Chain A
Amino acid sequence: MTEGSRSRPAVLAALALSALAPLALLLLASVGRDWFFPAPWPPAMTLESWGDAFRGGGRMAAALGTSLVLAVGTGLAGAAVGWPIGRALADLSGWARHLGASAAFLPVAAPPVALATGLHLSALTAGVAGTTGGVFLSHLVPATGYAALYFLGVFTLFDRRVEDEARTLGAGPRTVLWRVTMPMMRRQLGEAFLLGFLVSWAQVATTLVIGGGRVRTLPLEVFAYLQAGQDRYAATGALLLVIPALLMLGAVRFAVARAEATPL
């Protein structure tokens, strides 16, 4: 598209603005005091909400820690469980494949009320409601659904001949998996991890219902502050949500890029 070349710098600038402006706005909102219309710039600044977030076992800092543990755990487990499911579904055909794909799709398509109620009943029955473990499992269900669908796509296009070749050369199934398939799939594994991480990172309804209010994650804090009109606190929480997620995106990209060339 050579005709587009001249517009490239302008589009780049627009992309940069669209990515960074909302973050800058949140940063201002998190420190701005008495910042009302029509002031384009906060007349006074305070670090109160940031201080409250971290001082003396601050609620937001604790919630951030819980969110991180849950999201990393969900990302890892989601990729680990989603991989064999996606691979199996890719190998299947006919009704079995449709059934499996629908099962993987169900957690993705179920509306929050139905999903949360089902997970809540299950967690109560299993005796894990109100615990971090129960919330982890409840995040894992949708995360596994996404990861399974993702790997279904990946393995549908996967060229099995490489594995067959390794097997002909005498490698056992475990060696094939660890030495041949997984190294080829570094980028996909990284993306599946990120997918699970982000699914968990953004959960509100499931955490609230299954955690019964006892498991406090950062999105719950942001939601509570937003409902109370505490914009400064909500913006602080929103930024705390954005920063680790961006760092995680960067870390995964970096780890994958070290192993292979990626589109990014």
Chain B
Amino acid sequence: MAAKKIPHFVRDDTMTQVSGKLVNLRPAQPSRLAWATLALGLALGCRPAARTTAAELARLPWDSVLARAKGTTVVWRMWRGDPSINAFVDQWVAPRVKERHGITLSAVEGQGPEIVNQLVVEREARAPGSADLVWINGETFGNLRQEGLLDGPWAGSLPNARFVDSVSPIIRRDFEQDPAGYESPWGQVQFTLIYDSARTPDPPRTVAALASWILTHPGRFTHDQQFTGTTFLMTVFYALGGGVRNYQGGFDSLRYATGSAQVFHWLERHRAAFWRGGETYPPGVAELHRLFANREVDFSMSYNQNEALTKARQGVLPATARPLLLQDGTIANTHFVGIPFNAAHIAGAMVLANFLLSPEAQLEKQKPEVWADGTVLARNRLPPEWAARFARLSLDPRALASDSLAKYARPEVSPRYRERLSADWRARVRRVGQ
């Protein structure tokens, strides 16, 4: 890892350390070779005009930002796969920012790596940006910062930033990275397993209990190959390695080697009792939900503490599906919004980010029938009438109580751990049968 990218960099004051990675804060120069590619018969098009940066806007009075935002169309690139989230954004947020701030909100598809790849190609073609706000966190934030693709700092200047819970380690840091004003928080989620209370009335509640459950119920447990599955592996990684504390403070390859060896040993011991004998794994968490709903396996999982109930309400999961916390601790994280380096409507993006942080929007978003996404605001910082409303928020009695969620919540560590664990897991499972 350490050697990666170093030849490109000159150590100077524009470099910083983000989760053990050297990060160049200066926007990278478009590669000359990208030009050579374009020279394959293409004339060059538009160049970005001189623009006011987000950092400059952040120094202006808020009224002036509001004035600049008025009448603009803000393109927000986000995950668009959940009807409840889409409805919240399209039917609740959009009309309000239109009415109050004269902003037209256009939510478009794109998440994680797609956002990074899109911005890399846009920079290489020197084209104007296609999005003004992006929904990101963790490794995507790290990648965007590493490539100098985010504008900022600006997040601290939002009027509603004063309500944000800046004490919680899960909100203050994004996978141990300092957001440094380059992204603004807007929601918090926690990993849980999902079980069927009718099928498994007494589910295992620790990693060790789960392990013996797997052995006594062969073929009834698996995890997916993507982000949620890796989060499960990270949960096991924490539990077997003596807790999250052992992995905090940046990536440590020695600790990773010891911890991952334990995880792979654990998997090796249980693999034969996994679904399909551990030979194949569902591609994504959606497929895992389908296997769970149709009784092919007895557990699913989610990186949202309320998804079990939301999906049960939608009829995607059985009505008796419930979230399940592992008492070894389950991982929680915060998701953020950032402004790309080439955004066309920075002021509008900032006004939208501010609206997303408003007590009103945060409360609506947290309602179980809307999305049930956790708030990032601290109740003790809110005006009393809003604090009372959050307190009154009628929680689904079947949902996990917020104090037990908080009790077992563990922060993400450097995204490098996750990256490596996922890559090494893939390499291992694909050796089967060769």
Which residues does A use to contact B, with CB under 8 Å?
33-34, 36-38, 44, 46, 52, 59, 117, 120-122, 124-127, 129-130, 208-209, 212-214, 216, 220, 224-233
Question: Provided the pairs A34-B318, A212-B108 are in contact, do residues A230 and B81 lie with their beta carbons within 8 angstroms?
Answer: yes
A69 to B75, CA, bound (A): 23
Sort A-B residue pairs by CB-CB distance and give the 10 closest, nearest first.
Answer: A229-B286, A228-B81, A213-B108, A124-B125, A124-B127, A213-B109, A37-B294, A212-B130, A33-B315, A224-B81
Q: List 15 A-B contacts (CB under 8 A).
A: A34-B319, A37-B295, A59-B90, A125-B44, A125-B45, A129-B127, A208-B110, A214-B106, A224-B80, A225-B81, A227-B81, A227-B284, A229-B289, A230-B286, A231-B316
Nearest CB of B to A107, in Å: 15
Asked whether B38 is an interface residue with its Cβ less than 8 Å from the other chain, the reply is: yes
Nearest CB of A to B305, in Å: 17
A232 to B293, CA, bound (A): 14
Question: Provided the pairs A36-B294, A229-B311 are in contact, do residues A127 and B77 lie with their beta carbons within 8 angstroms?
Answer: no
Asked whether B60 is an interface residue with its Cβ less than 8 Å from the other chain, the reply is: no
* A215 to chain B: closest residue by CB: B108
Q: Is the CB of B315 within 8 A of A121?
A: no
Q: Is the CB of B127 within 8 A of A127?
A: yes
Q: Is the CB of A37 within 8 A of B315?
A: no
Nearest CB of A to B135, in Å: 11
Nearest CB of A to B73, in Å: 10
Asked whether B17 is an interface residue with its Cβ less than 8 Å from the other chain, the reply is: no
* Chain A residues whose CB sits within 8 angstroms of the CB of B45 once the complex forms: 124-127
* Chain B residues whose CB sits within 8 angstroms of the CB of A224 once the complex forms: 80-81, 109
Nearest CB of B to A74, in Å: 21
Q: Is the CB of B127 within 8 A of A125?
A: yes
* Chain A residues whose CB sits within 8 angstroms of the CB of B114 once the complex forms: 208
Q: Is the CB of B130 within 8 A of A125?
A: no
Asked whether B253 is an interface residue with its Cβ less than 8 Å from the other chain, the reply is: no
* Chain B residues whose CB sits within 8 angstroms of the CB of A213 once the complex forms: 77, 80, 108-110, 130-131
Asked whether B385 is an interface residue with its Cβ less than 8 Å from the other chain, the reply is: no
* B121 to chain A: closest residue by CB: A120
Asked whether B98 is an interface residue with its Cβ less than 8 Å from the other chain, the reply is: no
* Chain A residues whose CB sits within 8 angstroms of the CB of B318 once the complex forms: 34, 36
Q: Is the CB of A229 within 8 A of B42?
A: no
* Chain A residues whose CB sits within 8 angstroms of the CB of B44 once the complex forms: 125
* B284 to chain A: closest residue by CB: A227
Nearest CB of B to A67, in Å: 15
Give the tally of cross-chain contacts (CB within 8 A): 102
* Chain B residues whose CB sits within 8 angstroms of the CB of A216 once the complex forms: 108-109
* Chain B residues whose CB sits within 8 angstroms of the CB of A227 once the complex forms: 81, 284, 286
Contact of B43 among A59, A125, A130, A214 (CB under 8 A): A125
Asked whether B421 is an interface residue with its Cβ less than 8 Å from the other chain, the reply is: no
Contact of B82 among A36, A117, A129, A228 (CB under 8 A): A228
* Chain A residues whose CB sits within 8 angstroms of the CB of B118 once the complex forms: 209, 212
Asked whether B70 is an interface residue with its Cβ less than 8 Å from the other chain, the reply is: no
A214 to B107, CA, bound (A): 8
* A126 to chain B: closest residue by CB: B45
* Chain A residues whose CB sits within 8 angstroms of the CB of B82 once the complex forms: 228, 230
Nearest CB of B to A111, in Å: 15
Pick from A52, A120, A227 the residue with the most CB of B within 10 Å. A227
Question: Provided the pairs A36-B295, A212-B118, A214-B130 are in contact, do residues A229 and B83 lie with their beta carbons within 8 angstroms?
Answer: no
A120 to B319, CA, bound (A): 44
* Chain A residues whose CB sits within 8 angstroms of the CB of B287 once the complex forms: 229
Given contacts A125-B38, A126-B45, A212-B77, 17 further A-B contacts (CB under 8 A): A37-B294, A117-B121, A121-B42, A121-B125, A125-B43, A125-B125, A125-B127, A212-B108, A213-B108, A213-B110, A214-B75, A214-B108, A216-B108, A216-B109, A229-B287, A230-B81, A231-B316
Question: Provided the pairs A224-B80, A224-B109 are in contact, do residues A212 and B295 lie with their beta carbons within 8 angstroms?
Answer: no
Nearest CB of B to A218, in Å: 13
A129 to B45, CA, bound (A): 12
Q: Is the CB of B46 within 8 A of A127?
A: yes
* B307 to chain A: closest residue by CB: A229
* B290 to chain A: closest residue by CB: A229
Within 8 A of A (CB), among B270-301: 284-287, 289-290, 293-296
A65 to B38, CA, bound (A): 33
* Chain B residues whose CB sits within 8 angstroms of the CB of A127 once the complex forms: 45-46, 127
Question: Provided the pairs A37-B294, A224-B81, A227-B286 are in contact, do residues A121 and B121 lie with their beta carbons within 8 angstroms?
Answer: yes
* Chain B residues whose CB sits within 8 angstroms of the CB of A229 once the complex forms: 285-287, 289-290, 311, 316
Nearest CB of B to A87, in Å: 24
Question: Provided the pairs A129-B130, A212-B118 are in contact, do residues A233 and B295 lie with their beta carbons within 8 angstroms?
Answer: no
Nearest CB of A to B258, in Å: 35
Asked whether B37 is an interface residue with its Cβ less than 8 Å from the other chain, the reply is: yes
Nearest CB of A to B38, in Å: 6
Q: Is the CB of A232 within 8 A of B131?
A: no
Q: Is the CB of B316 within 8 A of A230?
A: yes
* Chain B residues whose CB sits within 8 angstroms of the CB of A125 once the complex forms: 38, 42-45, 125, 127
* B46 to chain A: closest residue by CB: A127
